Amino acid sequence: MNEIVDINLLPSKARRKRLSREGKQILFIGITVVLLLAGIYASNVYTKIQRTNYLDSVNAQIDALKNVQKILDERAVLSGKLLYYETTIPSLTNQQAVWNDLIDEIALFMPKDAALDSIEVDRKTNLVKITGHAVDFQKLAWTFNALSQNENFMQLALEDYSIPFPKKSDIAKDKEKGYSTFTISFQWKGMMK
């Protein structure tokens, strides 16, 4: 019984306009919110892209610096080797000349019936040891005397020698080759330069 009757005093057109105005406002607010969210998202994506590009650029610079550092390290190693070679080659050349001079002096004073087997040099004591063999003990004595005539050989000493058995003996054929062996040591003035 107590029913309230709703009476629309506005014309239906105005009501539709009001609804459409409210709808337009809601639509405008919705579009604005969507555009605002899209703008925020686009800003975040753009910021990420900028950061990624910046990090890629920094990584490229770091790689370039690593390559430069690698080249500098290789250059330092090569310059160290170059310095070593620049100092070593003349030294070796000078030493080679020294050894050639030593061999020449020994060869000049060696009789032709004696031969060298080895030359040992001790740089700490400047001692030269030569080992070799001669046809017989007399040629060994001649070798020692000839080397003692060289004024560049000091403190000449016959450290070791062997005298062969007579060539006709059967023992000599089995044990010895029929020549005298020797070890002579001396100090050479050429090494003391």
- Give the domain CATH number at 186: 3.30.1360.100
pLDDT in tens, 41-80: 999 999 999 999 999 999 999 999 999 999 999 999 999 9
Residue 158 phi/psi, 5° resolution?
A: -90, 100
In a domain? residue 16: no
Read off the pLDDT of residues 103-157 as tens digits, 9 standing for 90 and up: 888 888 888 888 889 989 887 888 889 999 888 888 888 888 888 888 888 888 8
Residue 8 counted as domain residue? no
Position 174 in a domain: yes
Residue 62 counted as domain residue: no
What's the pLDDT score for residue 174?
Answer: 43
Q: 45 in a domain, yes or no?
A: no
pTM: 0.47
pLDDT at 8: 64
> What pLDDT shows up at residue 125?
81
- Give the Cα-Cα-Cα angle 153, 159, 162 (nearest 5 degrees): 125
Which range of residues forms the domain containing residue 131? Answer: 93-192
pLDDT band at 193 (very low <50, low <70, confident <90, very high): low
Of 177 and 129, the one with more pLDDT = 129
- By CB atoms closer than 10 A (0-12, 13-18, 19+), residue 114 is buried
**99 assigned to some structural domain:** yes
The overall average pLDDT reported for the chain is: 82
Say how many domains are in the chain: 1
